[in-house]
Amino acid sequence: MKKTLLAAVGGLVLSASLMAGAQVVVRIGPPARVVETRPALPPEHRDWVWRNGYHRWDGNAYVWTPGEYVAPPHPHAHWVDGRWEHRHGGWVWVEGRWR
């Protein structure tokens, strides 16, 4: 019983990790980026950085996700925006990251 449970849990972890590495290729190119008006930075968050908004694919259409101020993971970190890249005969989302 214990081995069966461990094998089942291991299969779930393996499946989840395979799914996490999968890329979704969207055949329709993304719309032009929305020009956002950046709100004033709240004084209590003076070390936060602005993360630009982006279009995400919801499985049927592109949906705009607005930009926001976020706390960096460490001092002097800066945000590199995500982007849509043309590859595999369509468009693939490359996640943003901290650098």
Instruction: Round the average pLDDT of the chain to a whole number and report it.
Output: 85
Q: How many CB atoms lie within 10 A of CB 37?
A: 5
* Phi, psi of 73, deg, nearest 5: -75, -20
Residue 74 lies in a domain: yes
For the segment 77-83, the average pLDDT, to the nearest whole number, is 96
Q: What is the pLDDT of residue 23?
A: 87
Domain residues for the domain of 58 are 25-98
CB 17 within 8 A of CB 46: no
- Flag whether 36 is in a domain: yes
> What's the chain's Rg over C-alpha atoms?
19
Q: Could you report how far apart the first and last alpha carbons of the chain are, in Å?
A: 46
Q: How confident is the model at residue 1 (pLDDT cuts 50, 70, 90)?
A: low
- Residue 84 inside a domain? The answer is yes
In the predicted structure, residue 40 carries a pLDDT above the cut 70? yes
Count structural domains, the chain.
1
DSSP letter for 26, please: B
